[in-house]
Amino acid sequence: RHARRSAPPTPLESTIIVKCTPAVKHQIYMDYNATTPLEPEVIQAISEALQDAWGNPSSNYIAGAKAKATINQSRENVARMVGGKAEDIIFTSGGTEANNMVLHTAVEHFRRSSRAAGQREGHRNGSGGLPHIITSNVEHDSVKLVAEHLQKEGKADVTYVPVSKMTARVEVEDVIAALRPNTCLVSIMLANNETGVIMPIPEISQRIKCLNKQQERLRVLLHTDAAQALGKIRVDACELGVDYLTVVGHKFYGPRVGALFVNGPGTRTPLYPMLFGGGQERNFRPGTENTAMIAGLGKVCFLLRMRAVFNNKIRFNSHYPGSDILPNTCNVSILGPSLQGWRVLSNCRKLLASVGAACHSDSGNRPSHILLSCGVPSEVAAGALRLSVGRATTKADVDAVVEDLRETVRQLEEMD
């Protein structure tokens, strides 16, 4: 058979090809569940960490101390974002590692608990045999494939609860019905990455907590992978009632690094390392910390928390692509018809700040000409607050100011 020679396209075909081939500049990105671009503030935080916090966080010299302080601040920011405490946060390389750590911990905890129970004469907890894990049939591969591996290797039994074909959710009763005396973990994602359906985690948690009160049975641990939910809906680990919650930075405009929330790691909730080494992350996840990426994750968590507090009514007026800003300066507008900057400040109980330069205070309540010159719309500039911190400003001060502003905004909106 002779190879066919490809004839050049006709003029009509050429026109169709050109019209059907989108130009790059007109392409629109709509794959944010896969990954998101970095916020400009996050890029700046990463760059600053690479320049100023390059030292080993375990070292005592200045660069090392700076790196450790950066990591500690980021840990606080991540914890506040998910409603936990700083000691509840373990930094990981990403969501895959965090999810693997949870399933590894559940199996190891079952093994140790069963061994301890067998050594206590007359104790019956019905937890013999293999550990049993419950998950759904729509989980991310970083849960699904780990569960399949444990099952294949004879290390665990796994039940894959199917989602409802009517609601696309995991039904609470189906999860509870799947529980066995040897169930050690229930792992259900908070929101599905393909359908966007939110799973009933609080309801599952309430039922499991009731069962865990029975002294004769092994404690069932609850994990949720919140990768797709963070940055899109409110996520509070305490409200959800989970023992573990997975955080993935690149799903909400942060870097490709992750964290695992553990409700009291090693005390209230078991956590066992998969790696062994230098003892970083309190021995739960050893390895020299990736300071710059952790700094970026902490920054995006701080921004997310700020926006959550003010219900997306906030606009940062200091952020311009390609421009660095002073680390102590934040010009921000809280959007709303009754939220002019001067009015907000005059009603704050704690915050002492200004709407612009003190030497321009005779301009009355008019929007800052500087902001207008920088392209900030007049209605946004009218609500601007200039916040600048100094050497004496603490993290507690910043938290108090955020709460003061939140309460002031609430009162002003109620008045109108």
**Percent of the chain predicted with pLDDT > 70:** 89
Predicted confidence at residue 242, as pLDDT, reads 98
DSSP state of 16: H
How does 8-19 read in b/e, with b if 16+ C-beta sit within 10 Å?
eeeeeeeeeeee
Active site residue 359: yes
Q: What are the residues facing 248 on neighbouring strands? A: 258
Other C-beta atoms within 10 Å of 215: how many? Answer: 6
> Looking at residue 367, what is its pLDDT?
87
Given 238, 301, 359, 374, the catalytic residue: 359
Calpha distance 307→314 (Å, rounded): 6
Residue corresponding to tokens 């974002």 = 81
3-state secondary structure of 68: helix
pLDDT value of residue 416: 77
| SS3 at position 29 | coil
Instruction: Pick 326 or 282 by higher pLDDT.
Output: 282
Backbone angles phi and psi of 17, in degrees to 5: -60, -45
Q: How confident is the model at residue 18 (pLDDT cuts 50, 70, 90)?
A: low
Summarised one tens digit per residue, pLDDT across range 165-180 is 999 999 999 999 999 9
The predicted model scores a pTM of 0.80
CA distances 24 to 21, 30, 36, Å, are 9, 14, 18
Tell me if 412 sits within 8 A of 344, measured CB to CB.
Answer: yes
d(CA 256, CA 243): 23
**Phi, psi at 92, each rounded to 5°:** -130, 175
The predicted structure's pLDDT at residue 215: 67
What residues have CB less than 8 Å from 215, skipping those under 6 apart?
Answer: none
